[in-house]
Amino acid sequence: MAPTLSNELLLKAVEKFDTPLYVYDEERIHFQYSKLLHAFHQSDVKIFYACKALSNINILRILQKLGSGIDCVSLNEVQFALKAGFEPSKIIFTPNSVSIDDYKEAVSIGVNINIDNLEILRQFGEHYGSSYPVVVRINPHIMAGGNIKISTGHIDSKFGISIDQIDQILKIKSQTQIKIKGLHLHTGSEIKEVDVFINGLQLMLELSKKFEELSIIDLGGGFKVPYKPDEKGANIDELGMRLHETLSKFETDQHKKFQIWFEPGKYIVSEAGYFLTKATIIKENPTRTFVGVDSGFNHLIRPMFYDAYHIIHNISNTKGPVKQYNVVGNICETDTFAWDRALHEVSPGDILLFNNAGAYGFEMSSRFNSRTRPAEVLVNKGEMKLIRRRETLDDLIQGQVL
């Protein structure tokens, strides 16, 4: 059974640390990581946690101790990873739209480099020649993912080098002697279909025939987690089996073996995270009943940005009559967490819990409307530890030059 935090413990966390509050369950992170290890145990697979999902260094340390690698999209994320104790060889640097300067700094640290455009591939090759083998991100022209904003592998996406431009990669390779040790793709987030990953793998295996020194295929992240009641996530056990079958067949036919990398973010931390807010007002309008909370899209942007659904529970009243509410935030523009949501009757002061808030929750928070960002708490086997203090007015003013 997947570990979950009880309402009782979450209410205690609120008593101690107030709302709005993010709470993460260390046991659940261990559980998710071990499910990945189990699913892929038959193949040579390495996991690189995509830390853009949740980058608090205390969380990164958990993954580091579990033996995970880490996928970083900025030099600051790389610095966080180093602080958390990751060896450079266990860090992948996967930026996009950055200049060669960022790559040079990453090389000086010694991390794995993932290049996502022809221009940088050429500049990198001209500078380093064959001395620093790289991974190249391919855009496979695969449409996948929960919605268009989180789909990254389709033909019109800004990510990767088009699969139709392989000849140009090969030309740069022969002109600069750059060594390509891996091919990477990431088609999007919230991918449920195992076929998407297997089709991507097949494409990369086919391409690998053109890159003699290739030893790594990186299939990115994007494993779906269930957000709605009764929704199913990606079946990673089935993916593990089909991955093994596909690789074994290729090995028999072509006498070539690859190490497979995955970069899951959501899968590892989403369900380990809880977001807690307090109901401030109940507003009965002629057409709707609104429950206003002491938070907004500045703290959890997913519903407004992606039309994302997060399960909400009134954990102060788990038995009363059920009513329909629009759950809204306090930001001065349309700021809706949930439309027409059935909740046990809400009174001012009740605590509303949002599930599945570990990934891209705090991480995408902002100080819009000059509101401070929430505190973060880590729970390990019932013990609570503050891992980010609540911001104050001073934090908002600090840095302004008056």
Interface residues with ligand LLP (CB under 6 A) are: 50, 53, 71, 94, 150, 152, 186, 189, 220-223, 263-267, 302, 306, 359-360
What DSSP assignment string belongs to 247-283?
Answer: HHHHHHHH----EEEE--SHHHHGGGEEEEEEEEEEE
* C-beta of 278 vs 310, nearer to ligand LLP: 310
What's the number of CA atoms in the CB half-sphere (13 Å) around residue 312? 31
* C-beta of 50 vs 178, nearer to ligand LLP: 50
Q: What single-letter amino acid sits at 143? A: M
Catalytic residue among 101, 156, 286, 332: 332
SS3 16: helix
The yes-or-no answer on residue 332 being catalytic is yes
Q: What single-letter amino acid sits at 353? A: L
Smallest distance from the beta carbon of 194 to ligand LLP, in angstroms? 15
Smallest distance from the beta carbon of 294 to ligand LLP, in angstroms? 22
What DSSP assignment string belongs to 128-193?
Answer: HTTSS-EEEEEE-----SSSGGGB-SSTT-SSSEEGGGHHHHHHHHHHH---EEEEE---BSSB--
Query: Of how many residues is the chain composed?
Result: 402
CA 185 to chain centre: 15
Residue in the shown chain whose Cβ atom is closest to ligand LLP: 265
SS3 45: strand
Instruction: Please give the Cα distance from 226 to 133 (Å, whole number).
Output: 38
Contacts of 129 (CB under 8 A, 6+ apart): 176, 177, 178
* C-beta of 301 vs 315, nearer to ligand LLP: 301
* C-beta of 221 vs 292, nearer to ligand LLP: 221
Instruction: Please give the Cα distance from 266 to 53 (Å, whole number).
Output: 6
Smallest distance from the beta carbon of 177 to ligand LLP, in angstroms? 27
Smallest distance from the beta carbon of 281 to ligand LLP, in angstroms? 28
* C-beta of 292 vs 303, nearer to ligand LLP: 303
* C-beta of 86 vs 267, nearer to ligand LLP: 267
Instruction: Please give the Cα distance from 252 to 206 (Å, whole number).
Output: 14
* C-beta of 263 vs 376, nearer to ligand LLP: 263
Instruction: Please give the Cα distance from 310 to 322 (Å, whole number).
Output: 18
Neighbouring C-beta atoms of residue 363, cutoff 10 Å:
18
Instruction: Please give the Cα distance from 319 to 344 (Å, whole number).
Output: 7
Q: What single-letter amino acid sits at 21? A: L
Do 344 and 314 contact (CB within 8 A), yes or no?
A: yes
Structure tokens at 119: 């221009």
Neighbouring C-beta atoms of residue 277, cutoff 10 Å:
28
User: What are the catalytic residues?
Assistant: 332
